[in-house]
Amino acid sequence: MHALVYTGTNKIDFREEKDPIAKAGESLIKVKASGICGSDMHAYHGKDERRIPPLILGHEISGTSLDGKYKNKDVVINPLISCENCNYCKNEREHLCPKRTMIGMSAPIKREGGLAELVSVPEKNILEVPKDLNIKEAALAEPAAVALHAVLLAEQNLKKPLSECKILIQGAGAIGLLCGLILNTEKKSKNIIMSDPNKKRLDNCSKYLSATFVSPEDRLIKNDNFDLILESVGLEITRLQAIKTIAPGGTIVHIGLTQPSGTFNFKKLTIQEITLVGTYCYTNKDFNTTVNILTSKKLGDLGWVEYRDLKKGSEAFEEIHNGTCVSPKIILIP
């Protein structure tokens, strides 16, 4: 098969690889669409110790099952593989399972990803694509589940309904945009500011999201102002802005992880009773809900997604890396 292989820092090769062989309980998927995730970019930059080259990246996958229970059916993959036996798994928090693994990662178990013509996945991680959901759009289920989980965590921690909150979304990438779309459509939030240094990205997002679009230095990002901040960047500088601009009693949801550590204003966190919540992946329930949201077309026009040929994948990684890519999401088609 052909695959995009991460071979070293800033190196992705489109090349011939051995076809995967499905193990017991697994099915072989003929990939129809496979998205590039921020975490794949993190690996590309050589900064992810869980993704070691050579490795086929990619975990936002839809396709056709070639065998097993879903033979010849269009399917979407939930790439998070959990043990099903621990307390987390038994209480609908599979994403925190200590034995969890992920497709397209090297650790704790090496599993080749979906930026390829074929991928082998556990049958329990396969969902049938409803007939009203376009197979290519189904690949969005994974990043949309990340966003849904973040919004639901925000909702659990806030002291007032999301529809009444003043919201700042830092970062106009796929996760920031999807959080905004879920807030607009599922939670009726209209008072949203989205910030990003990339003006072209913001212009692109402004066609789909009901919000105000500003640079991170804009005077609309006032101190002690927002009830909720969705931090989808994860830099020290964006975290510092989040704590500065959150209103007393507000909630910061930390989604991005570009810089895993740095300084932070714990004084304000403490004396203004700020809630700071980390969010990671999604539960199985979130993933299923997301497939339903996409099927019902509730997120509106998905014209912001750019589809490209898998063959051209290394150029796509390069463009995302050097900031010339204006699409919040690129999905590759084998």
Residues that bind Zn ion (CB under 5 A): 37, 82-83, 86, 89, 97
| Residue 83 CB, nearest approach to Zn ion (Å) | 3
Q: Which is nearer to Zn ion, 89 or 192 (CB)?
A: 89
| Residue 130 CB, nearest approach to Zn ion (Å) | 21
Separation between Cα atoms, residue 113 and residue 262, nearest integer Å: 31
| Residue 19 CB, nearest approach to Zn ion (Å) | 24
Q: Which is nearer to Zn ion, 105 or 126 (CB)?
A: 105
Strands 118-122, 126-128: pairing kind:
unpaired
Q: Which is nearer to Zn ion, 82 or 314 (CB)?
A: 82
Q: Which is nearer to Zn ion, 232 or 275 (CB)?
A: 232
Q: Which is nearer to Zn ion, 32 or 95 (CB)?
A: 95
Separation between Cα atoms, residue 59 and residue 331, nearest integer Å: 11
189 CB contacts (<8 Å, ≥6 apart)?
Answer: 162, 163, 165, 167, 183
The CA angle 231-253-270, to the nearest 5 degrees, is: 110
Q: Which is nearer to Zn ion, 3 or 105 (CB)?
A: 105
| Residue 239 CB, nearest approach to Zn ion (Å) | 21
| Residue 97 CB, nearest approach to Zn ion (Å) | 3
Q: Which is nearer to Zn ion, 82 or 191 (CB)?
A: 82
| Residue 252 CB, nearest approach to Zn ion (Å) | 21
Exposed/middle/buried for 187, CB within 10 Å: 0-12, 13-18, 19+? middle
| Residue 53 CB, nearest approach to Zn ion (Å) | 19
| Residue 219 CB, nearest approach to Zn ion (Å) | 33
Q: Which is nearer to Zn ion, 169 or 174 (CB)?
A: 174
